[in-house]
């Protein structure tokens, strides 16, 4: 029996087979990744590590670049002890009026009506609730102020090897991209950028 479960490579290779995606082996410069084609987009799952001098923290992230039609940005995270501080400093908070969801999550964004409409999708909210720790957001690709390049982004602390949670994430991203198109945020065109 392995102390920490099966290695990431083994779990992610099996996941790639199950969801009809491509597993790309890691190298010295890049971590292993899964690339899943969905319509004209590529959903990318990988890990990255941030070194802070004396220690390091590894994150699991999922991203999908898209061409934006409208500069709608949001950030969603689970509520924590610091959530109330953001509200005190005037950070825009959006309520979906789904009180169970609003009790668990902090949703901020730059266009309340569009973001509320996106988060009316019950399936999306259920898939988000399935994840324990997360940051889920849209915004300019790599913080560049491009007129067309954006990405949908998920991040959590640690290495995620739970196959059901990973499958759920790929489904969440697929459904969310459809919702972004439906609400005039994302174009169905293939994006020009490559991750």
Map tokens 């102390």 to a residue.
3
Alpha helix stretches (DSSP H) within 58-161: 83-88, 99-104, 112-118, 122-129
Instruction: Please name which of 94, 138, 131 lies closest in space to residue 113, comparing C-alpha atoms.
Output: 94
Residue 119 to residues 25, 31, 76, 86, 122: CA-CA distances in angstroms?
A: 35, 32, 11, 21, 7
15 belongs to a structural domain: yes
165 belongs to a structural domain: yes
Query: pTM score, two decimals?
Result: 0.88
- Per-residue pLDDT at 146: 58
62 belongs to a structural domain: yes
- Flag the least confident range among 3-7, 40-44, 144-148: 144-148
Task: For residue 52, give the 3-state DSSP assignment.
Answer: coil
2 belongs to a structural domain: no
1 belongs to a structural domain: no
Cα torsion through 93, 98, 100, 103, rounded to 10 = 10
Q: Could you give the number of structural domains in the chain?
A: 1
- Per-residue pLDDT at 195: 74
Map tokens 């459809």 to a residue.
178
189 belongs to a structural domain: no
């Amino acid at each position: 029996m392995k102390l920490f479960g099966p290695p990431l490579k083994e779990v992610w290779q099996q996941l790639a087979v199950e969801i009809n995606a491509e597993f790309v082996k890691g190298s010295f410069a890049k971590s292993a990744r899964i690339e899943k084609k969905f319509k004209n987009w590529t959903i990318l799952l990988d890990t990255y590590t941030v070194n802070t001098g004396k220690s390091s923290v590894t994150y699991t992230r999922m991203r999908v670049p898209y061409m934006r039609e409208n500069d709608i940005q949001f950030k969603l995270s689970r509520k924590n002890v610091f959530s109330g501080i953001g509200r005190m400093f005037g950070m825009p908070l959006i309520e979906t009026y789904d009180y169970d969801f609003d009790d668990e999550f902090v949703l901020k964004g730059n266009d309340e009506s569009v973001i509320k409409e996106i988060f009316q999708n019950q399936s999306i909210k259920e898939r988000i609730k399935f994840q324990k720790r997360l940051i889920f957001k849209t915004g300019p690709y790599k913080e560049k102020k491009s007129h067309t390049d954006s990405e949908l982004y998920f991040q959590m602390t640690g290495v995620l090897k739970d196959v059901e949670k990973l499958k759920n994430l790929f489904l969440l991203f697929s459904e969310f991209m459809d919702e972004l198109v439906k609400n005039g945020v994302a174009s169905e065109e293939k994006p020009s950028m490559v991750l």
